[in-house]
Structure 1
Amino acid sequence: MSLEIPLMTTDEVIELDPEQLPSGDEVLSILQQERSQLNVWINVALAYYKQRKIDDFLKILEASRVDANIDYRDFERDQMRALDMLAAYYVQEANKEKLKDKKKELFTKATLLYTMADKIIMYDQNHLLGRAYFCLLEGDKMGQADTQFNFVLNQSPNNVPSLLGKACIAFNRKDYRGALAFYKKALRTNPNSPAALRLGMGHCFMKLNNQEKARMAFERALQLDPQCVGALVGLSILKLNQQENESNKLAVIMLSKAYAIDPKNPMVLNHLANHFFFKKAAQCFEKVLKAQPGNYETMKILGSLYANSPSQLQRDIARQHLKKVTEQFPDDVNADIPAEILNNVAALHYRLGNLSDAKKYLEEALEREKSDAESLDAQYYNSIAVTTMYNLARLNEALCLYNKAEKLYKDILKEHPNYIDCYLSRNGDLARRSNVWLQTLHQPCREKDREKRHQERALAMYKQVLKNDPKNIWAANGIGCVLAHKGCINEARDIFAQVREATADFPDVWMNIAHIYVEQKQYINAIQMYENCIRKFRAQHEVEWLTWLARAQTLAGRTNAARGTLLRARRVAPHEPALLYNTALALRRLAATVLKDERASLGAVLRAVHELHRLSSGGAEAGPGGVAENAAVPAVAERARIETGAAAGEARACADLLSQAQWHVTRARRQHDEELTMRDRQREQREAFRRQQKRQQFKEKTKNALLFADMPVESKGRGGRRRRDEYESGSSSGERAADGREPKQRKRKRDGEGKKSGGKKKRERAQRGSGSDSDPPRKRRKRPW
C-alpha cells in the first residue's frame, strides 16, 4: 500500500512506494513545503524505519516536532504517538548498547520523551505499554512496569503485549508456572502470535524440567521464524545435553547458524566458546601428555578441563590425572596462591564475621602483592594493592581500630587522590567515631566534665563530615542528637525536620523527632510519631523502638497501652535485662493505679494483686502472653545496670502494695457485694413496676370490654317501646279521629323513668281488664311516636 502526501494548494497527492523510498532529505523538504499533517509525518517515518533507514527515520520524527501541521482534530494523540515512537527507538538502542555511559544517555533521552508524552495523554494504552517495557528493560523498575501492565489489563483483559510483559516479569521473579500461564493466555487470545511467544514458553518448560515440551516450543518458534536465534540456541543446548556425538554435531551446526544470523549475540558466543575452547585445548594438552606422560602441569590442567565435562568417561579420566598429581606431589597443598584469591578469601571471611581470619588473609595478600610488584608487573600489582589496602582499612574500622583505618585511608589518598570510595569511607569513619563519642553520653554514672568533652568531640567530628560531604544526612542527624543532649531542644528539632524533608526513608530521624516531642512533654504527638515510624519501617519486632513507645505511653498516662507494648517486646526478647526491669516497673505502676482507684472492679483488683505477687517473687509469667520472668526485680535491675537503690526502692514499693492488698481486696469485694445487692433491688423494683403496669393494662381492657357489652341492650329496649307505641297508636285510631287533636310529641325519659312508667302502664291495663263493665272507660292521651 502506497503512502500519500496531500498537496497544500490542490486536491492532488504525492504517492510513495514503501518498498522504494526516495532520499529522506527530499521527502522531508516535501513534507515541510506542503505543511503536511503530523499523522502523515509519522507514517512516512515509520516506513523508513521498516526499510532500516534509521537516520531518515530519526530526521523526519525530530523535524515533525517543529514543522508538522497540528491544526486538525485529535492532533494530541498523534503528538503522543510521535514522542512514543522516538522514545521506543532510544530504549531499543539502549538495550543493545554495551557502553555504560552511552546506555545511560539513551535511557535519559527516552525518559524525557515519555515524560513529555505523559503531559499530553497519560492513560493511553499504547503509551502505557511503551512506558512499561521501558521500565522493564531499564532493570531496576520492575515494580513500576508490573503496575502499568496491570492497569492496561484491567481495561483490556486480553491485551497481548500486557500479557507478554507480565510473563516476562513472572519469569524474572522465578515464577515459571505463572509466566507459562500468561504465555498460554496470550496464545489463546491470538493464535497467530510471533515466534517470540513460543520461545518464552520453551524457556518456561526448560525451567520446569519438561524438556520434551520445550523442544516442541523451540521447533514451533523456528517454523514461524527461521531466523529466531533464541530457538536455535535452545535446541542446541537440548542436543548437547544428550551427550552423543551426532547430537553434538547438530548442536554445533545450530550454534553456527545462530552466529551467522546475530554475530554479537552473547548466548551464541558463550556456547561456541565453551565448545571450541574445551575441544581444542583438550586436544593440545593430550598431545603434550603423549610426548611427556608424567608432566605435572599438563595433568593438572587436563584434570581441570575434564572435571567440568558432561561426559562421565572424561570425568573418570580427570580423576585419574588428578590422582597421579597428588601421588607424585603430595606436599603441593600450599601451592602459589595468587594475591587476588587471598583478597577474595578475606572478603568471604569478612562477610561471615570472621574478622581475625579476614585480617590475616588481607595482610598476606598485601605482602604477596608487594613482592610480585618487584619481580613481575609492577603497575598491575600496585593497582590491586590499593584495593587490598582499602579492604584492610575497612576491616580495621570493623575492629574499631579507627586510627589505623584513617592512616591507611590517608596513605591511599596520597597515591590516588581520585579514589572516591576512600573519601566516602573516611567520612564514614569520622561519622562512626563521632557515634562512639555520642554513645558514651548514654552510659550511667557519667561525669559532667567528661560528658561535655565527649559532646564537643562528637560535634566537631560530625561538622567535619558535613564539611566534606554537605549532603550527608547521618552527620546532620548526629549534630541534632548532640544538640539535644546539650539541651538545645528547639535547634535539634529544626535540624531533624530538615533531615526528614531531605529524605523520608531515614528511620533514625523519625525516632529523634519523637524523642524531642517527649522532651517537650507533647506525649500524644510522640506516641503518634513512634507508632507511625514503627508502621512505616515495619519495625514491630524492634525491642528498642517498642520500649521508647512504652515510655511515651507511660508518661501520657496510658498505663494499659504501655503494658501491652512492653509485653510485645518481651515476646521478641524474653531475657533482655533492661526490658525485664521496665516490664516489671510498668506492671507495678499499673497495679498501684488500679489499687488506688476506688471505682476499680473486683476482677481488676484481684488481677493487680496477682501481678504484684508474681513481681515480688520473681514470677513465672509476665502477662497473658505466657512469657516467663526469670529474676526478681533487684536482680533484673542489677543486670540492666540500674542503680541498686532505685531497684531496691521499687522492690519495697511492691512489698508495701502487697501489705495493703488485703484491705483493697476487702474494699473491692464489699463494693462488689453492694453493687450486686443494688442491682438485685433494682431488678425487683423493675419487675414489680412491670407487673403493676400489666395489671393496670388488664383493668383498662376489662372496663372497655364491659362498656362495649352494654351498648346492644340499650338499643333493644328502645326498639320494644317503639313497637308498643305503634300497637297502641293503631288501637286508638278511632279516638284520635273523634277527638280531632294532634298527638303531642313524647318526651324522652331516662332509663329509670322509662322502666317505672312501663310498670305503671302494665298495672293500669291489668286493672282495666279486671274491672266491671259499668266503669266508664278512661280516656287515654295519645302521644306521637
Structure 2
Amino acid sequence: MPLGTTIRYNIARAHELKGERATAEAMYKQLVKDHPTYIESYLRLGCMLRDQGRKNKASDWFKEALSVDVSDYRTRSLLGNLHLSKGEIIPAQKMFESINKDSKEKTKREDMYAQVALGSLFHQSASTAKRNDPKGAQKHADYLRRAQDLYAKALKLDGRNMYAANGIGCVLAERGHVNEARQIFVQVREATGDMPFIWDNLAHTNLQQKQYVNAIKMLKTCQARFFGGRDVDVYISIARAYFLSNDFAMAAKTLRKALHITPTDSETEYNIGLCEQKVAVAVLKDTKSDTTQLLMAKRSAKMAERIFTMLAQSNDKHTKYSKTLAKMY
C-alpha cells in the first residue's frame, strides 16, 4: 500500500481522536473509494458507527471489510463482538470459532484472541441462562466454567494477557467472589491504566458491594478520561448506579445524556420514563415533601406518562421494552 494512503489514514484517525467525526468519516469514505482494498478504512467506519450505537450500519461496514479479505481476523473479531453486543450468540460463536480454527495455522496472538473471544461468548451466555430452575442453574455454571477455562488457556499462552486476566476477574465476580475479582482488576489497572473496561469492572464491583458513590465516581472518571463524555454504555452504567442508590432524578438526567447521543434508542426512553415515575412516587410517599417538590413530582409523572404513551403507540416491532407495560402506565 502506498505511503500516501497510510498518511491519509493517520490524518483521518487524528481527526477522529479529536472528536472531529464528520471530517474523519469523509476521509475514511474517500479512502475506501480510492483504495477499496485498504481494509483499515472500512474497520474505522464500522467502529465509529458502533460507538454511536448504530450497530446495524456498523455491521454493514465490517461485512464489506470481510468481503475484501475473508481471512482478516480483526474483521471477524469485530463482527463477532458486534453480534455478541446484540445478543446474537450463535452468529458470534461461529465467528469466534472460525478464528480459533484458523489460528492453529497462524499466530500465537490470534490463538490468544480466539480463546478470549470464545471465553467472552460463554460468559455472556451464562448471563442469559435462567437460574430459577435446576437446568438453567446448571447451564449457567457450565458456561462460567467454560469461560474461565478459555481465559486460563489464553493466560497460559501469555501471562501478560490483560484481557484474559480481566475475563477471569469477571467470572469470579459473577460467582460472588467479589474481593478476589477486585484484586485482579486492581492488578490489571496498575499494569495498564489505559483499558477503560477495567475501570468499568472495578465500578461494578463497587456496585455489588453497594458502594454507589465510589462506583459513580469511577464511572465518571472513565467517561471523561477515555470517551470524552460520548460513551452511551458508560452513561447507562452511571444511571444504573444512581437508580440503585435511589437517586432517580440523577438517573433520569444521566439517561438523557445517553439519549442525546443515540436519540432513536427507545429502550433508553423507556428507562427515562421509569425513572421519572420513580421520582414522582418517591416524592408523593414522603410526607415531608414541600410544594416545590410536589410540583416536581407532578412534572415527572406527566413526563413518564408522555413517554409511555408515545412508546405504546410505536410501530417498531423490534423493541427491547414491553409495550404491554408501557400501555399499563
Q: 1:573 to 1:392 in 2, by over 3 A?
A: closer
The structural deviation recorded for 1:403 is 3.2
Q: 1:595 to 1:361 in 2, by over 3 A?
A: closer
The aligned counterpart of 2:297 is 608
The aligned counterpart of 1:518 is 207
The structural deviation recorded for 1:356 is 5.2
Equivalent in 82, 100, 120 of residue 435 of structure 1: 120
**Deviation string, structure 1 residues 146-180 (Cα, Å, up to 9, x no partner):** xxxxxxxxxxxxxxxxxxxxxxxxxxx9xxxxxxx
The structural deviation recorded for 1:408 is 2.6
The aligned counterpart of 1:542 is 231
Larger Rg: 1
Work out whether 1:597 is the aligned partner of 2:286: yes
The one-letter code of the counterpart of 1:347 is I
> Following the alignment from structure 1 to structure 2, what is the Cα–Cα distance between the partners of residues 426 and 599?
62
Q: Percent identity?
A: 29
The structural deviation recorded for 1:594 is 1.5
Equivalent in 131, 155, 167 of residue 478 of structure 1: 167
Work out whether 1:465 is the aligned partner of 2:154: yes
The structural deviation recorded for 1:437 is 1.5
> Following the alignment from structure 1 to structure 2, what is the Cα–Cα distance between the partners of residues 606 and 443?
41
Work out whether 1:569 is the aligned partner of 2:258: yes
> Following the alignment from structure 1 to structure 2, what is the Cα–Cα distance between the partners of residues 503 and 359?
31
Q: 1:598 to 1:651 in 2, by over 3 A?
A: farther
CA contact (8 A) 2:243 2:251 kept: yes
The aligned counterpart of 1:345 is 37
> Following the alignment from structure 1 to structure 2, what is the Cα–Cα distance between the partners of residues 437 and 360?
27
> Following the alignment from structure 1 to structure 2, what is the Cα–Cα distance between the partners of residues 471 and 424?
12
The aligned counterpart of 2:192 is 503
Q: 1:559 to 1:504 in 2, by over 3 A?
A: same
**Deviation string, structure 1 residues 274-301 (Cα, Å, up to 9, x no partner):** xxxxxxxxxxxxxxxxxxxxxxxxxxxx
The aligned counterpart of 2:111 is 426
The one-letter code of the counterpart of 2:159 is P
The structural deviation recorded for 1:617 is 4.4
CA contact (8 A) 1:615 1:633 kept: no
CA contact (8 A) 1:484 1:492 kept: yes
Secondary structure (helix, strand or coil) at the match of 1:345 reads coil
CA contact (8 A) 1:581 1:640 kept: no
Aligned length: 263
The aligned counterpart of 2:101 is 407
> Following the alignment from structure 2 to structure 1, what is the Cα–Cα distance between the partners of residues 99 and 199?
31
Matches within 5 A, 1:717-756: none
CA contact (8 A) 1:393 1:406 kept: no
Matches within 5 A, 1:270-285: none
Secondary structure (helix, strand or coil) at the match of 2:235 reads helix
Q: 1:395 to 1:449 in 2, by over 3 A?
A: same
CA contact (8 A) 1:618 1:633 kept: no
Secondary structure (helix, strand or coil) at the match of 2:105 reads helix
Matches within 5 A, 1:574-593: 574-593=263-282
The structural deviation recorded for 1:534 is 1.9
> Following the alignment from structure 2 to structure 1, what is the Cα–Cα distance between the partners of residues 229 and 281?
29
> Following the alignment from structure 1 to structure 2, what is the Cα–Cα distance between the partners of residues 396 and 598?
57
Matches within 5 A, 1:654-733: none
The structural deviation recorded for 1:641 is 4.8
> Following the alignment from structure 1 to structure 2, what is the Cα–Cα distance between the partners of residues 410 and 348?
24
CA contact (8 A) 1:581 1:633 kept: no
> Following the alignment from structure 1 to structure 2, what is the Cα–Cα distance between the partners of residues 407 and 527?
41
CA contact (8 A) 1:575 1:630 kept: no
> Following the alignment from structure 1 to structure 2, what is the Cα–Cα distance between the partners of residues 458 and 541?
30
Equivalent in 314, 319, 322 of residue 639 of structure 1: 319
CA contact (8 A) 1:549 1:565 kept: yes
The structural deviation recorded for 1:602 is 2.6
Q: 1:475 to 1:598 in 2, by over 3 A?
A: same
Any unmatched runs of 5+ in structure 1?
1-172, 174-342, 364-390, 413-421, 620-628, 655-785
Q: 1:633 to 1:440 in 2, by over 3 A?
A: farther
The aligned counterpart of 2:217 is 528
TM-score normalised by L of structure 1:
0.31
**Deviation string, structure 1 residues 124-154 (Cα, Å, up to 9, x no partner):** xxxxxxxxxxxxxxxxxxxxxxxxxxxxxxx
**Deviation string, structure 1 residues 13-47 (Cα, Å, up to 9, x no partner):** xxxxxxxxxxxxxxxxxxxxxxxxxxxxxxxxxxx
> Does 1 or 2 have the higher relative contact order (CA < 8 Å, sep 6+)?
2
CA contact (8 A) 1:346 1:357 kept: no
> Following the alignment from structure 1 to structure 2, what is the Cα–Cα distance between the partners of residues 357 and 634?
32
The structural deviation recorded for 1:361 is 5.2
> Following the alignment from structure 2 to structure 1, what is the Cα–Cα distance between the partners of residues 64 and 211?
50
**Deviation string, structure 1 residues 594-653 (Cα, Å, up to 9, x no partner):** 12223323343233223323423436xxxxxxxxx84149999x82256x8xx73x876x
> Following the alignment from structure 2 to structure 1, what is the Cα–Cα distance between the partners of residues 216 and 174?
21
> Following the alignment from structure 1 to structure 2, what is the Cα–Cα distance between the partners of residues 441 and 577?
26
Q: 1:639 to 1:615 in 2, by over 3 A?
A: same
Secondary structure (helix, strand or coil) at the match of 2:37 reads helix
Matches within 5 A, 1:124-143: none
> Following the alignment from structure 1 to structure 2, what is the Cα–Cα distance between the partners of residues 348 and 512?
29
Q: 1:604 to 1:454 in 2, by over 3 A?
A: same
> Following the alignment from structure 1 to structure 2, what is the Cα–Cα distance between the partners of residues 392 and 563?
42
Q: 1:345 to 1:603 in 2, by over 3 A?
A: same
CA contact (8 A) 1:394 1:405 kept: no
Matches within 5 A, 1:77-96: none
CA contact (8 A) 2:125 2:143 kept: yes
Q: 1:598 to 1:362 in 2, by over 3 A?
A: closer
> Following the alignment from structure 2 to structure 1, what is the Cα–Cα distance between the partners of residues 227 and 73?
34
CA contact (8 A) 1:553 1:562 kept: yes
**Deviation string, structure 1 residues 343-372 (Cα, Å, up to 9, x no partner):** 982736854665556555547xxxxxxxxx
Any unmatched runs of 5+ in structure 2?
1-13, 15-34, 47-60, 81-94
**Deviation string, structure 1 residues 102-127 (Cα, Å, up to 9, x no partner):** xxxxxxxxxxxxxxxxxxxxxxxxxx
Q: 1:434 to 1:444 in 2, by over 3 A?
A: closer
Matches within 5 A, 1:148-297: none
The aligned counterpart of 2:49 is none
CA contact (8 A) 2:129 2:140 kept: no
> Following the alignment from structure 2 to structure 1, what is the Cα–Cα distance between the partners of residues 103 and 111?
7
The one-letter code of the counterpart of 2:110 is S
The structural deviation recorded for 1:425 is 1.7
Secondary structure (helix, strand or coil) at the match of 2:307 reads coil
CA contact (8 A) 1:554 1:562 kept: yes
The one-letter code of the counterpart of 1:440 is S
The one-letter code of the counterpart of 1:497 is V
The aligned counterpart of 1:556 is 245
The aligned counterpart of 1:278 is none
